């Protein structure tokens, strides 16, 4: 089996929502889409960005889980919560550094992206990467990405003092070795701006 990896490039996302739809067709969570599609700075741009589970090497979600309900397979895929165990406490939902797990109130269970394990475990592409037209979500070989993209893939992160390495890579400019999430972007956004009837991004957000 050719060894393929997952690569995210937020900046390529065109907000078409194909991944959101396709995700719900995955057999391990059929009917429920696990992908997050964010509108970024609604007032200024139409920019959107997808977020899938990054499949951390030492997942924070599993460490804070009181029920020991989150398990990693030997091939490094962090699975959705084990159904008999998860007690729907949302520790993982609010702790994951990437904001990935979803609390499903009606099932009293957390569900998350499992890289379409029914597909990726037998060498097929995850649903989202199959349909993404822009290459924001790509499932391919490391060589292919290095050959064709201007940036380089990185899988090392820092959230304050917490170092995280992930199975999934993000595309960043050359010379970057680690993505540091500290104070740069975390500034309070002005809230309660007056409603703008032509705010397309808001409409998109409302449609979710």
Residues 23-42 that bind another protein (CB under 8 A): 26-30, 36, 38, 40-41
Q: Give the nearest distance from C-beta 196 to ligand SF4 in angstroms.
A: 33
State which of positions 103-132 bind ligand SF4 (CB under 6 A). 110, 112
Q: Do the Cβ atoms of 134 and 14 come closer than 8 Å? A: yes
Asked if 83 touches ligand HEM (CB under 6 A), the answer is: yes
Asked if 206 touches another protein (CB under 8 A), the answer is: no
Q: Give the nearest distance from C-beta 82 to ligand HEM in angstroms.
A: 8
d(CA 15, CA 204) in angstroms, rounded, equals 9
- Residue from the set 17, 34, 42, 59 that interacts with ligand SF4 by CB under 6 A: 59
Element (H or E) spanning 157, and its range?
Answer: strand 152-159
Nearest to 6 by CA among 53, 72, 47: 53
d(CA 205, CA 208) in angstroms, rounded, equals 6
Q: Is 41 left (phi over 0), alpha (psi -120 to 50) or beta?
A: beta
- Residue from the set 2, 44, 147, 189 that interacts with another protein by CB under 8 A: 189
- Residue from the set 23, 96, 131, 168 that interacts with another protein by CB under 8 A: 96
Q: Give the nearest distance from C-beta 2 to another protein in angstroms.
A: 19
Asked if 153 touches another protein (CB under 8 A), the answer is: no
State which of positions 134-193 bind ligand SF4 (CB under 6 A). none
CA distances from 109 to 52, 102, 131, 157 (A): 18, 9, 28, 28
Q: Do the Cβ atoms of 40 and 49 come closer than 8 Å? A: yes
Pairing of β 137-140 and β 5-8 = antiparallel
Q: Which residues contact 185 (CB under 8 A, 6 or more apart)?
A: none
Q: Give the nearest distance from C-beta 169 to ligand SF4 in angstroms.
A: 13
Kindly tell me which of 20 and 89 has the beta carbon lying closer to ligand HEM: 89
Q: Give the nearest distance from C-beta 111 to ligand SF4 in angstroms.
A: 9
- Give the footprint of ligand SF4 on this chain (CB under 6 A): 53-56, 59-61, 64-67, 69-70, 78, 81, 86-92, 96, 98, 100-101, 110, 112
**Contact residues: ligand HEM, CB under 6 A:** 83-84
């Amino acid at each position: 089996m050719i060894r393929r990896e997952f690569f995210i490039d937020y900046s390529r996302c065109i907000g078409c929502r194909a991944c959101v739809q396709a995700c719900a067709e995955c057999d391990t969570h059929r009917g429920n889409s696990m992908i997050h599609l964010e509108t970024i700075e609604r007032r200024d741009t139409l920019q959107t960005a997808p977020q899938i589970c990054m499949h951390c090497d030492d997942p924070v979600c599993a460490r804070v889980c009181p029920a020991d309900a989150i398990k990693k397979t030997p091939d490094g895929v962090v699975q959705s919560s084990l159904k008999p165990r998860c007690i729907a406490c949302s520790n993982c939902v609010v702790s994951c550094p990437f904001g990935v797990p979803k609390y499903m109130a009606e099932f009293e269970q957390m569900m998350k992206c499992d890289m379409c394990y029914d597909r990726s475990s037998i060498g097929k592409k995850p649903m989202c990467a199959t349909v993404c037209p822009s290459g924001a979500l790509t499932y391919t070989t490391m060589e292919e990405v290095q050959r064709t993209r201007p940036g380089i893939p990185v899988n090392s992160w820092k959230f304050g003092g917490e170092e995280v390495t992930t199975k999934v890579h993000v595309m960043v400019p050359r010379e970057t070795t680690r993505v540091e999430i500290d104070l740069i972007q975390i500034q309070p956004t002005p809230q309660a701006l007056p409603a703008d009837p032509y705010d397309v991004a808001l409409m998109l957000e409302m449609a979710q």
